[in-house]
Amino acid sequence: MGLTTGAAPFIEQARDSGQRFIEQPYELYTESNHEAWRRLYARQEDSWQRFANRHFLRGLETLRLDPNRVPLLDDVNQFLSPRTGFVARPVSGYVPAYAFFDCLRQRAFPTTITIRDAERLDYLPEPDIFHDIAGHVPMHTDPAFADALVRFGDCAHTAAELAAGIRDKEQQVHQLSSIIRAMARFFWFTIEFGLMREGDELKVYGSGLLSSRGEIEHAIVSPEVQRYPIQLEWVINQGFEIDHYQPLLFIVASFDHLFELVDTLEKWMRLGKLNNVAPGEPSVSEADLRSFLDASS
């Protein structure tokens, strides 16, 4: 089975033994795994040239990804780290929210090493290496974008710090759950599904869009999509669903603007403005809540 998403014994064994951070056993990739990468990359290239922002395209050149083979993360990091200090760090699967954001703070990006089935390229039950490396990591070569990610990691530390000061457990859970929901929404509408201005054009910088064959074009040209200049108070109160194309997207002016938004997010957190955001999606899982509670104790 190689390292196919949802059917990789190596990953199952790592999870069963409690290993979150792992090595990338490159020899386990099969020709079918490499074929999946080749087909995904080939069908996305034209869309990147048409719709991706210039920082992403420059990042692709910097990383020198092989269009025909699943990337070796050590090779990726050889080109990535000198640019911004970031590294792609292989993981066995889902990383709870606090641990994930803390990795960003340390300039490490938790990276899935499995790849979707070559016969089901549009079916993605969880992130895979194409989403993480071809979607996210080229953006990490841009210093301003990388700094915004690190600043977002700072926000997670602030959330845990604030939670530590709340003695009433019910209030602590309520407030922390609201903050986590606000952070998740911000991450979704910026890092995963963000748009940005380049002169008179709209371009994609969100990794969920960059790694999706259909949605990247839909985000820019479809009349069904509402596109608005980003407003922080709107974003943190806006629910979203993950199982269909996004009907609402937000636009930033630049990555310096994105950094300013993250900075404001933390300031609002300290002022209590994230303590009662609108209910709804995403729900806060027990694992994500527990990760913040453990960090606050």
* Cα gap 297→270, rounded to integer Å: 18
Phi, psi of 167 (to 5 degrees): -85, -35
Phi, psi of 225 (to 5 degrees): -95, 130
Give the tokens for residue 82. Answer: 């000198």
* pLDDT per residue as tens, the chain (297 positions): 799 998 999 999 999 999 999 999 999 999 999 999 999 999 999 999 999 999 999 999 999 999 999 999 999 999 999 999 999 999 999 999 999 999 999 999 999 999 999 888 886 667 899 999 999 999 999 999 999 999 999 999 999 999 999 999 999 999 999 999 999 999 999 999 999 999 999 999 999 999 998 999 999 999 999 999 999 999 999 999 888 899 999 999 999 999 999 999 999 999 999 999 999 999 999 999 999 999 998
Whole-angstrom Cα distance, residue 1 to residue 10? 10
Question: Which H or E element spans position 144?
Answer: helix 143-164
Q: What is the pTM of this model?
A: 0.95
**Is residue 52 exposed (0-12), middle (13-18) or buried (19+ Cβ within 10 Å)?**
buried
Structural tokens at position 202: 């709209």
> What is the predicted pLDDT for the residue at 125?
64
